[in-house]
Structure 1
């Protein structure tokens, strides 16, 4: 990770995964590699903000479902809804049973089909339901749960951008970031996210990392399927990875906690 790429990569990570209004500056594959590697760190920062919103809403007397709904809405707002849009487009393309350019053409359409709508509703319901179960927990476990889930969702993007995974198109975000993340930093980032998850289930330190590992494995299964169907990764596929893995970690940590 060259020093001169770190500031530009950090700016690119923040502007890609949040609404933070920074000047992007230099954008190339070297910078993209840094940005995709820093994606889990950006997710962790976002998780801290979302946990504060959840605790604040619950502390102000809002019903747990309302507090959870406000938190999920804030998450969508702080990311411009890009990951949700990517999920909807990816599921619509998969649901069409088309492959290659025909599937990619469906993903480019501005409308959302029934498969995409169903996926959005399911993911949002599961996220709200999971977050609604958290305010009763002690704040360290709540914070670790939200941070681990949001960081793991972005870690799935790092895995999707690992070397050997092609881009589906010659242009776009997928072409910029595909194959840029090396194995050693990827493993280190995974260990870091798993370490955060340790505190999510007090008394059972192995359970949080296990949930993160299972969710990432599910994300890799989805990635393999999308690469086979579309010919590689796209920005929409990366967005789908974020939402699917984040939701699975929330669900796993709530059910096992």
Structure 2
């Protein structure tokens, strides 16, 4: 499987750009690169990437809502929590053309190859999928459906909240992976376009805002629900950070595949935490 974003040329730098792009340009960048929703990218440069990756959780919010709607409808119509969860997991995959899952599989193959960075990156660019990628995809999809089914079995509100929160957290992990100091593994592609574009302070502010808002949205369900929602985001980001550091050490930087793997890993972790209790 290949990193579809590697066809895009970009200048690699670990320092955020001095200039900013407009908020609309950033939103278009976020939706145009992280979803298949109609969004005409007006700028493909590092200032646009800086604003766009800071806005990535907004793209996650829209994807999460679009995933929650059919899940809730199926549950209300008597389809059961398992069917609702399966469809709710399928929607984000469709809205990204499976690119994040593609990235997860490629990253698993690269990490599992035990080869030097250059050879591992070549493996990740190949069109086939190896055994590590197959296992990673199967486990992640199974865990996501099982965890979300547990949430929908409790109530449609909890299931919908889990769908939205997982999608937002997945994109938030990308924001943090785009922070200052994280290098690109290749001189081209999505990794090079967004590596190091978000200042550390901005990334931390976005993350803190998502944690607070996740707790606030779940607060009507009770203090435990609020704490669980905030905890799900924090635990998911911690797991994503571990994976990010492993990939940077292993591949000498990040690629578009790594961003996809971070998204799927953080979403899965968030769903598991939200399924507890």
TM-score range, shorter chain: over 0.9
Which piece of structure 1 moves more, 122-131 or 138-147? 138-147
The CA distance in 1 between the partners of 2:177 and 2:57, in whole Å, is 13
- Which stretches in structure 2 are left out of the alignment for 5+ residues? 1-17
2:144 to 127, 130, 149: 127
Distance 1:139 1:2, change over 3 A: farther
The CA distance in 2 between the partners of 1:112 and 1:2, in whole Å, is 40
Which piece of structure 1 moves more, 92-101 or 229-238? 92-101
Distance 1:99 1:91, change over 3 A: same
The CA distance in 1 between the partners of 2:96 and 2:50, in whole Å, is 20
**Which residue is equivalent to 2:267?**
246
Matched, 1:11 2:31: no
In structure 2, the residue corresponding to 1:206 is in which secondary structure? helix
The offset of 1:59, in angstroms, is 1.4
After TM superposition, the runs of 4+ consecutive aligned structure 1 residues lying more than 4 A away are: 1-4
The CA distance in 1 between the partners of 2:235 and 2:41, in whole Å, is 34
1:43 to 28, 37, 60: 60
The offset of 1:140, in angstroms, is 4.2
**Which residue is equivalent to 2:5?**
none
The offset of 1:141, in angstroms, is 3.5
In structure 1, the residue corresponding to 2:186 is in which secondary structure? coil
Residues 172-191 of structure 1 aligned to structure 2 (within 5 Å): 172-191=189-208
Query: Is the contact made by 1:144 and 1:197 (CA closer than 8 Å) also made in structure 2?
Result: no
The offset of 1:52, in angstroms, is 1.1
Which piece of structure 1 moves more, 85-94 or 52-61? 52-61
The RMSD of aligned alpha carbons is 1.7
The offset of 1:22, in angstroms, is 2.4
The CA distance in 1 between the partners of 2:114 and 2:178, in whole Å, is 24
Normalised to the residue count of structure 1, the TM-score between the two structures is 0.94
**Which residue is equivalent to 1:203?**
223
1:234 to 250, 255, 261: 255
The offset of 1:4, in angstroms, is 4.6
Query: Is the contact made by 2:152 and 2:160 (CA closer than 8 Å) also made in structure 1?
Result: no
**Which residue is equivalent to 2:120?**
103
Distance 1:3 1:139, change over 3 A: farther
Corresponding pairs, count: 256
The CA distance in 2 between the partners of 1:21 and 1:78, in whole Å, is 11
Residues 14-163 of structure 1 aligned to structure 2 (within 5 Å): 14-163=31-180
The CA distance in 2 between the partners of 1:208 and 1:22, in whole Å, is 30
Normalised to the residue count of structure 2, the TM-score between the two structures is 0.87
The CA distance in 1 between the partners of 2:183 and 2:266, in whole Å, is 21
Deviations 1:136-159 (A, max 9, x none): 344443333222211111111111
2:245 to 209, 220, 224: 224
